[in-house]
Amino acid sequence: MIRIEQLTKRYGATSVVDEVSLVVERDSIMAIVGTSGSGKSTLLRMINRLVEPSSGRVLLNGRDTGAEPAHLLRRRIGYVIQGNGLFPHRTVAENIATVPRLLGWEEKRIGARVAELLTLLQLETGVYAHKYPHELSGGQQQRVGVARALAAEPSVLLMDEPFGALDPIIRAKAQEDLRHIRRRFGITIVLVTHDIEEAFRLGDRVAVMSRGHLLQCDRPAALLTRPADPFVTQLTGAADRALRLLSLTRAGDLADPAGSGGEAVAHAGAGEVSVAADASLRDVLADLMWQNADAAVVLDAGGRPCGRLTVAAILAQGRAR
């Protein structure tokens, strides 16, 4: 768990981060979103003390981060930056091994860890371990950057615009990877982005910053339905907030199991639309519109019907509360 208490960074008379307090729960993803110059990156960099706070403090699992030398603190915190920052003179394996080497791990343990991470990120060890960063594609470099940050099994991962340099398709894949990593390792992630869509997709909670102030920190749905500030409304997009709200709920969460019995299965036969339980309501609605249907059968991971979803129910979900 990360507890940020009244953290402030001043340069001269201007405060780039002004008395921000924030709690990131263990094993959750906190997305910090804001325009450029909002202080979001500075806030992130104060957590691992790449920027020293002017006042306030950060507690990491209850311990004040100011209590130990900054470079020792940073070895316990994973860090991913935009454009990955891989060392061009070191191979993929050497890049990933950076922090374990700093920590003095045995070579055998380092080798096993590197292989494990490469496999996790779908980079075949035999093929990629000895390549240099310039031999990889942008998406592969980004994955190696994540592997390097995770190498020493940190409990906290900080990411500064990690997917900013990727094209949309690779970006979606990288976001999917991150969700997978979180499930696999149980790790607390703080992610800075200027992309509200990305913040909503990844963040369990989203913190909105503007001009050094924290305007609101809440679940994505609450940001849409109860914005605390006009800037939050503006950032989250007033025009399509109903659709954004729909994209936050999975089909499986709203499906009506009452209709899943024999009746639904019977209906599923002739031309009935079926959707996956983990599809977002936004996608389901689009699908129903496209296929000119009023209802869909929701299928669970095993492909078995687990409920029924009507257009009316989806529309109700998108209404202001």
Partner 1 sequence: MRRVAACWPLGALALLAAFLLAPQRFAPLFAPLNPDGAPPIYNQGNLLALALAHLGIVCIAAVASTLVAVGLGILVTRARGAQFLPLSRTLVNFGQTFPPVAILALAVPLVGFGEKPTLIALFAYGLLPIFENTVAGLESCPAALLEAASGMGMSAGQRLWSVELPLAMPLIFEGVRLSVVISVGTATIGSTVAAKGLGEVIIAGLLSNNNAFVLQGGLATGLIAILLYEAIGLVQRRVCGAVRLD
Positions in the binding site for partner 1 (CB under 8 A): 48, 50, 71-76, 79, 81-91, 98-99, 102, 132, 134, 148-149, 158
Q: CA 218 to CA 239: how far, in whole Å?
A: 20
CB of 34 or CB of 133, closer to partner 1: 133
- Phi-psi domain of 303 (left: phi exceeds 0; alpha: psi -120 through 50; beta: other): left
Beta carbon nearer to partner 1, 158 or 281: 158
CB of residue 76 to partner 1, shortest distance in Å: 8
Q: How far is the CB of 64 from partner 1 (least distance, A)?
A: 18
Nearer to partner 1, 158 or 264 (CB): 158
Q: How far is the CB of 9 from partner 1 (least distance, A)?
A: 16
The conformational region for residue 139 under phi > 0 = left, psi -120 to 50 = alpha, else beta, is alpha
Q: Which amino acid is at 83?
A: G
281-315 b/e with 16+ CB inside 10 Å = b? bbbbbebbeeeeeebbbbbeeeeebbbbbbeeebe
Closest approach of Cβ 13 to partner 1, in Å?
23
What are the structure tokens assigned to 106, written together?
């045995």
Between 34 and 100, CB nearer to partner 1 = 100
> Considering beta carbons, is residue 98 or 247 the nearer one to partner 1?
98
Contacts of 4 (CB under 8 A, 6+ apart): 20, 21, 22, 23, 24, 43, 47, 56, 58, 59
Q: How far is the CB of 255 from partner 1 (least distance, A)?
A: 44
* CB-nearer residue toward partner 1: 89 or 319: 89
* Closest distance to partner 1 from the beta carbon of 74 (Å): 4
Token pair recorded at residue 149 = 């940050």
